[in-house]
Amino acid sequence: MHARTGKLFGVAVASAAIMVAGTTVVAQAEPETPTSPIAEPKGPACDATVKAVSSGPGSLAGLQKAQSSVALASIPEISTFSEAVSGQLNPAVNVASVLDNGPYVVFAPTNEAFEKLSPEELETLKTDPVAMTALVYYHMALGILGPDDIEGTFNTQQGKPVKVKGSGGDITVNDAKVVCGGIGADHMRIYMLDTVLDPNNAPDPISPAGTSTTSTTATETTAAETTESSEASETVTVTETTAAEAAAAESTVTSTTATPAG
């Protein structure tokens, strides 16, 4: 049972080191208070979830004033993810204080998304702190972006990227569909997903700007050809000089031999 789930959610010791480093960076992040009004969230499930709550902590107005971890706990449809973040699902993993030190974009799988996981996968998350930490951090990325501005590839706190496509009410994150996105909270934007993201199925990282294998190879080949050409030129020069010296020496010998003896 453990071997199977380890393949899905297991991570190497190096990944654990990345996650610890990520925690340190987050703790030092400067909170940014939004200066403009928060736009309403967009997505097919918004009307039946957060927009359906007219008042209280779970309403749009209440969420906008709430601390990040409190906002997550105030949305019933993502209660399982809230439990994962706050140590209720796995007592060894509680990153609520990290989350509260945002700003963060949080990709929060719905309860129905967690129900798609097998019992073995859920058990691994509950008992393996490394797997749970990797999963939680893979659903968090620094920044505050609304549904009209979020398209792109982002490095998560886990270290691997997520790819966001679309805008408004039609957004995907990797292979997951956003059912309601851009839910505003203090230093956080929440995007509710219909599928749990797997860090082991992350897209390829972004290539460094300006790097081209083709151009690099061409440059190296040209340099090599130039060097060979230079060496060949030097060889020819040396050969010509040697031939001239030999001719001069031969002329001297011939002249000496032809001179009559006194």
Closest Cα partner for 190 from 199, 200, 179? 179
pLDDT tens digits, 181-210:
999 998 999 999 999 999 999 998 876 653
Averaged confidence pLDDT in the chain? 77
pLDDT tens digits, 133-166:
999 999 999 999 999 999 999 999 999 999 999 9
Per-residue pLDDT at 32: 52
pLDDT tens digits, 20-45:
344 433 444 454 544 456 888 999 99
Per-residue pLDDT at 186: 87
pLDDT tens digits, 231-261:
444 433 333 444 444 444 444 433 434 444 4
Residue that is written with structure tokens 């009410």 in the block: 169
Q: Does domain 2-201 fall into CATH 2.30.180.10?
A: yes
Per-residue pLDDT at 9: 59
Domain ranges of the chain: 2-201, 212-257
Per-residue pLDDT at 205: 83
pLDDT at 80 over 60: yes
Query: Burial of 67 by CB count in 10 Å (0-12 exposed, 13-18 middle, 19+ buried)?
Result: middle
Residue type, 64: Q
Per-residue pLDDT at 214: 35
Region for 166 from its dihedrals, namely left if φ exceeds 0, alpha if ψ lies in -120 to 50, beta otherwise: left
Kindly report the pTM of this predicted structure: 0.69
pLDDT at 79 over 50: yes
- Across 186-217, b (16+ Cβ under 10 Å) vs e yields bbbbbbbbbbbbbbeebeeeeeeeeeeeeeee
